[in-house]
Amino acid sequence: MAKSNPARSRVESDRLNTPTDLSPEATKVISEGLTVLLSDLFALYLKTKNFHWHMSGPHFRDYHLLLDEQSDEIFAITDDVAERARKIGGTTLRSLGEAKAKSRLADNDAEYVSPLDMLAELRDDNKTLAANMREFHEVTDEHKDVSTTSLLEEWIDQAERRTWFLYEITRTATQSGH
């Protein structure tokens, strides 16, 4: 594998500067925030798929299908997040290593996780994701980036819906002793 030439990388990066009326500072801060969000989304997507693939028990079909639906929704956001960074002249993720380093959500590599523990962990991760997006919303709003702010509002709503579904399942199952 060839080593990158720093001077060449700088020139190539200059070629990625999409014109925008946002300030250079806004572009930098917002594209970095979008990259962190994208890292969180990939972490949550993979964890949701992991739990989808390793679901077991009497409610297998319902939980398996729910997690498949939720993972599809999470993955559908990823391209919009990355492309938003590019639309404003920023850059975004280039590798799994970078995504791992920037993600704020913990992996779960356990050999076995009970179905309710899976759902509770995803509930908490989606709640954290929504909170992180709310904080980022303040940044995009401050820089008058109405497009990213508007997108965040939709993505927050989606994360809250996932949290709600997972909460209702875990609350109901806990109350009924399952």
Going residue by residue through the chain, which has 178 residues, state the pLDDT in tens, using 9 for 90 and above: 444 333 322 224 566 667 777 888 999 999 999 999 999 999 999 999 999 999 999 999 999 999 999 999 999 999 999 999 999 999 999 999 999 999 999 999 999 999 999 999 999 999 999 999 999 999 999 999 999 999 999 999 999 999 999 999 999 766 666 5
Return the DSSP state at 141: H
Residue 5 lies in a domain: no
pLDDT of residue 18: 76
pLDDT of residue 128: 98
Task: Spell out the residues 6+ positions from residue 134 whose beta carbon is closer than 8 angstroms to its own.
Answer: 156
Q: How far apart are the first and last CA of the chain?
A: 53
Q: What residue spans of the chain are helical by DSSP H?
A: 6-14, 24-53, 60-87, 96-102, 115-142, 146-175
pLDDT of residue 2: 41
CATH number of domain containing 42: 1.20.1260.10
pLDDT of residue 84: 97
Domain that holds residue 33: 23-175
pLDDT of residue 13: 53
CA distance 73 to 147: 20
Residue 14 lies in a domain: no
pLDDT of residue 10: 24
Residue 16 lies in a domain: no
Compute CA distances 108 → 16, 43, 112, 117, 136, whole Å: 35, 10, 10, 11, 25
pLDDT of residue 68: 98
Residue 8 lies in a domain: no
CA distance 170 to 87: 39
Residue 103 φ then ψ, to 5°: -70, 140
Residue 119 lies in a domain: yes
Residue 10 lies in a domain: no
Amino acid at 11: V
pTM over 0.75: yes
Residue 17 lies in a domain: no
CA distance 34 to 75: 15
Residue 93 φ then ψ, to 5°: -55, 145
Residue 128 lies in a domain: yes
Name the domain count of the chain. Answer: 1
pLDDT of residue 177: 60
